[in-house]
């Protein structure tokens, strides 16, 4: 497995509902890329939101120019410079970020928005709650550590 230190959050900048994950995969493939550039997607699927898999995490992504090595890319469908992230999309994203950060031992401060990297982009949107996402991941980490300590105390 390649070394992973950072999780980069994106939006697709397309309207949620207007396109499918398959469309996004097709656009990226049409650019001559090795399939979709993101490793995970959070997409609107009918009335609800769901997580989908993109490029296998073992493969370097094509999602953040100059920052694809050592990173995993996750994209939320929609444009979050125009609208706020729906509550359910946030919930699914947080769950995915929690799982990925635990699996690859990525600290919450290394969960970054694409626009926080030195690259001119608004992605994942100016209204995207990046601080809240990192704060929630820190809280979850604290609670998990506490749970582990309690379990050890029981032994
Ligand atoms: Zn992006």
In order of their start, the domains of the chain are: 6-154 (3.40.80.10)
Find how far residue 84's CA is from the centre of its chain. Answer: 16
Q: Indicate the angle between helix axes 130-154 and 87-104, nearest 10 degrees.
A: 50
* Per-residue confidence (pLDDT) for residue 71, from 0 to 100: 98
CA of 101 to the centre of ligand 1 (A): 19
Give how far Cα 11 sits from Cα of 150, 151, 152, Å: 38, 38, 40
* Per-residue confidence (pLDDT) for residue 142, from 0 to 100: 92
- Alpha-carbon gap, residue 92 to 87, rounded angstroms: 9
Whether the pTM exceeds 0.85: the reply is: yes
CA of 142 to the centre of ligand 1 (A): 29
CA of 152 to the centre of ligand 1 (A): 41
CB 19 within 8 A of CB 133: no
CA of 114 to the centre of ligand 1 (A): 5
* Per-residue confidence (pLDDT) for residue 64, from 0 to 100: 94
* Per-residue confidence (pLDDT) for residue 34, from 0 to 100: 86
Q: What is the mean pLDDT of each run of 10 residues along the chain (155 residues)?
A: 96 80 90 92 91 96 95 96 96 98 97 92 96 97 83 57
* Per-residue confidence (pLDDT) for residue 152, from 0 to 100: 63
* Per-residue confidence (pLDDT) for residue 149, from 0 to 100: 65
* Per-residue confidence (pLDDT) for residue 151, from 0 to 100: 60
CA of 138 to the centre of ligand 1 (A): 23
């Amino acid at each position: 497995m390649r070394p992973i230190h950072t999780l980069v959050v994106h939006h697709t900048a397309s309207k949620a509902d207007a396109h499918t994950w398959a469309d996004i995969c097709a656009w990226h493939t049409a650019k001559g890329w090795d399939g979709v550039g993101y490793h995970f997607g959070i997409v609107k699927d009918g009335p609800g939101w769901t997580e989908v898999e993109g490029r296998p995490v073992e493969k370097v992504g094509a999602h953040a120019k100059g920052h694809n090595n050592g990173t995993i890319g996750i994209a939320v469908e929609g444009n979050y410079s125009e609208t706020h992230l729906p509550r359910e999309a946030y919930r699914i994203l947080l769950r995915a970020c929690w799982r990925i950060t635990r699996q690859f031992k990525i600290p919450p401060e290394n969960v970054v928005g694409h626009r926080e990297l030195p690259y001119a982009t608004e992605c994942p949107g100016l209204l995207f709650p990046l601080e809240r996402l990192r704060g929630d991941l820190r809280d979850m980490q604290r609670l998990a550590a506490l749970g582990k300590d309690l379990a050890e105390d029981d032994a």
